[in-house]
Amino acid sequence: MSGFSFTVEARDGRARAARLETPHGVVLTPVFMPVGTAGAVKAVLHRDLREIGASILLANTYHLMLRPGDALVAGLGGLNGFTGWDGPFLTDSGGYQVFSLAALRRLDDEGVRFQSHLDGSSHLLSPERSIEVQQNLGADIAMAFDECPPGDAPREAVAEATARTTRWAKRSREAHRRSDQWLFGIVQGGVHLDLRDESARALMQIGFPGYAIGGLSVGEAKPGRDRVLEHLDPVLPAERPRYLMGVGTPQDLIECVARGVDMFDCVMPTRNARNGQLFTSRGRLSIRNARYRDDPRPPDPDCRCPTCRTASRAYLRHLHQAGEMSAATLMSIHNLFHYLDTMGAMRQSILLGRFEGWRGETLRRLESVDQDGS
């Protein structure tokens, strides 16, 4: 397809460093994608995202379909023209809302009938409609429509959802027409290795330029997640990108890169920031703690982000306690920088053949320090 390539530049164990070229720019992996559900990363300007090193953003098909509408976005130049972000976008398929909005939907082979959480209006999101929306949004990377069962779903329900995901993937592939957009298939199957294997092989037979791994951030235990990733590593094509959806903490990202994953997204850095929690090289820090009332130190003395260069813990605590909007902005910038910087350090360690040493040292530091970031 025009303007796309994916090249693995180095391996260290299962960990990979690669270069993903898209029509809107180059993405160096492993990569973390900030979540911009409605076309914007909450509380953070595009200018600041560029400054802290973000290269690709994630936007949400379901939410943008409902508001402002995918046809409107298409008429204003797609997500890039509409939002002003000149780098790559990835859009999810709306399949996660099959899981998260279960109380507002009915599901069958045709698709999912939603009752809008905004105004109660009824909508059908099928594989064909999901692809239509994503083509209108014009993201560089789109996702096949899938069913994501809960982490505690019984095996029979997981098997049914996995089979439906395969059928929907085929319909998604047949509906997809844009040559300037990559479409990824999504591997489902819960923590059942045989179902994961069946799903991956069926998707590979359909044929996609990249593969996402879904259903591993919906309540399952981390050992189960890790077993699935280790199982899929030799199954999925080594020359195609791999995207683990909705995961996780910095420690999670390190462990998943160690198991062959290239791409990640998660709301944690921005959601936790709005709740006053900061990720630092010395553990997590809750800015609401009274001990920071007069603390002149930056959130993380070892961090180079704009927030740590200019704001003290005392000031951030004051802003958060006062309900100032700038608190969310400053702390979101810090958390996103921490995630992006961690990915950059991981990539460098892989290129240098030092990933395992870096991984062990980093995890020990995060696990051995006071979890209040002191």
Q: Is 262 a catalytic residue?
A: no
Query: What span, in angstroms and rounded, lies between the C-alpha atoms of 94 and 224?
Result: 25
Whole-angstrom distance, CA of residue 212 vs CA of residue 241? 8
User: How far lies 15's CA from each of 105, 233, 363, in Å?
Assistant: 39, 10, 16
The dihedral sign for the CA sequence 82, 85, 90, 93:
negative
3-state SS class at 334: helix
Six token digits for residue 216: 């591993």
The reply to whether omega before 250 is within 30° of 0 (cis) is: no
Give φ, ψ of 141 to 5 degrees.
Answer: -125, 130
**Which residue is listed with tokens 């959480």?**
117
Which distant-in-sequence residues (6+ apart) come within 8 Å of 56 by Cβ?
22, 25, 27, 31, 33, 87, 88, 89, 90, 140
92 is catalytic: yes
Cα–Cα distance list, 28 to 149, 217, 270 (Å) = 31, 24, 22
End-to-end CA distance of the chain: 49
The catalytically annotated residue of 12, 70, 265, 341 is 265
d(CA 2, CA 179) in angstroms, rounded, equals 6
Residues 6+ apart with CB under 8 A from 83: 36, 39, 40, 46
Of 92, 252, 300, 341, catalytic: 92
Instruction: Report d(CA 74, CA 188) in Å as an integer.
Output: 30
* Contact criterion met (CB below 8 Å) for 63 and 37: yes
Q: How far apart are CA 9 and CA 242, in angstroms?
A: 15
Q: What is the CA radius of gyration of the chain?
A: 20
Helix/strand number for the chain, H first, E second: 15, 16
Return the active site residues. Answer: 92, 265
